[in-house]
Each structure stands twice: as structure tokens, then as C-alpha cells.
Amino acid sequence: MSARVALIFPGQGSQHIGMLADLVMLEGSDRLIDAAEALSDLPLRHIADAGTPEQLADTRAAQPLLYLADWAAASRALAVGITPSALAGHSLGELAALAVAGVYSVEAGLELVIERARFMAATAAETPGGMAAVLGLEASAIRSALDGIEGIWIANDNSPGQTVISGTPQGLGAATTALNEAGARRIVPLAVAGPFHSPLMQPAADRFVDLVAATAFNDAAIAVLQNTDPAPVTDAATIRRRLSSQIVSPVRWTETMDRLRGAGVSMLLECGPGAVLTGLAKRVEGLEAFAIEQTDIEAFRTEANE
């Protein structure tokens, strides 16, 4: 009996040198990269091949590069006969998942991503703040510890024992003290440009809503689990509504993994750079996860079809 497979797509933090290797092997890749460079006004080829850590971390470059890398990796998986029953992407990765599902063309998605990155970078530059990973403390205990602290929010519920918080410098400082007292094993500041997935990003979200409204959406050909509500969906109007609030909403990744497992998915293939999501999935009982960069894709297809 074939395993039910889901493709999952990483977001910011997974970018690395050489991340466009899958893309450059696809027909028409030059056209996509040319379009990305023109729209972003950034030397994305150079950044992907030989960029500095600072260039790779720049959200204006990281988002389009990750989008293209995620989409290309999934294209390779589909080309060898892997047939997913569902798709899910972490933050930026959701936009790649929607392109793979046929909600919009890869070109239309690229425009969304580049403007999303520009909006987020502009808001972050005007809004002091950051993010931190809280390790070794369950989400419920984190919520209790943060209760009453101003300027702090849960941004990503990544897995049991790993939650990301987002907020103002003052909020992060107060939260760090409270979480240490609550028994957190470690609190790790993240190298990000701003307080993403929090209400502080509302100016970016307001501009993104207008862009999403002006973009043609189709029903998804493959069910997608979205960050703001991980119930599987194919309806274009619902997908549009959920995506519109993503920038200021938490990424409900633990719930996404639980939903996939509950829907009978047993194998995950991470399509994109690195293996961050694969590592998170290994903490969820009943799911086998593989990163496409580290996996023999033909062997994975054979195993999934057994």
C-alpha cells in the first residue's frame, strides 16, 4: 500500500550558498531568475552563488531565493512521479506551496513574494524588534509566562519544545526573564530583520492584503494546509483570506504536522534548502521526514509507492 506523502516547504533561515541548484536545471530557469532580479533590483544569482551571510539574510533577497528554490525542488519531486496528497509551507514556504498547488503561476507568486519581502523589510526598518527561539518549554507554559507582558507574541509554534516569540526589544527582554524563570532550557535570539509574525508588522500586512486581492487565485489542485489555519483547503477564496493575514499571524506548524498525520500522511519530503523542517518533524510520532537535498529522490519515490 502506498504511503500518503506531503511536500513541505521551508521559509527564511534555510537559505544557503548554492540553493538554486535545482532551479538552474529546469527549462526556463534563466527567465525566472532574470524576472526576480529585475523585480527585486538585487543581484540574486550572485547572492545565491557567492553572497555574504549578510546578503543571504536580507529578507528582500532571502524570500525570492527561497521561493524559487522551494518551487524548483518540488518540481523535481513531481517530475519523478511523487504524488503528494497535501502541501504545507512554513511562513514564506507557504507561498511556494500555493504555486505548486496551482493557486497562481510561479511568475505571479514571484511578484507576490518580492513585494511581500519589500513590505516586510520596510516595516521592520521602522519598527524596532526581533525574534527569539524558546527551547525546552511547552507552548502552554510559554503562553502562561508571557501573560501580561506588553509587546511580545508567539510567532511560530514550531514543534513540541520549540517555540519562537516576536516583539519589541523591551518585550523580548521581559519575556526572556519570565521564560527563564518558568524553566526554559535556552532562549536564542534569531538573526532576523524584525518582529515577524506579530501585530507590529501590520503596515506590511495592510499593503500585502491589497496585492493579494489584485492577484488571480485558482482553486488548489492539491490540498494546502496554511499557517493561519491548518485545516486542509482547496477553495481559492479561503486560501486568499488565510494568506492575507499571514504576515501578522503565528505559524501554527505543530498543529500542521498533527493535521497531516491525522489525515493519514506518513511521509514528508522537505522541498527546498536545508533540513530545518525535517528536524522539526522528527519530534512528531508517526511521521517520517526527508529533506530533498539529502535524499535519493528515486529511492524516496520507490519507498513511498510500496
Known catalytic residues are 91, 197
Cell of 175: 519575556
d(CA 283, CA 280): 6
Q: In terms of C-beta density within 10 A (0-12 exposed, 13-18 middle, 19 or more buried), how is residue 201 classed? A: buried
Inter-residue long-range contacts of 42-50, CB under 8 Å, 24+ positions, other chains counted: 45/20, 48/17, 48/18, 48/19, 48/20, 49/17, 49/18, 49/20, 50/17
Q: Are 260 and 6 in contact (CB under 8 A)?
A: yes
Edge-first strand order for the sheet with 288-291 is 223-225, 86-89, 4-9, 265-270, 288-291
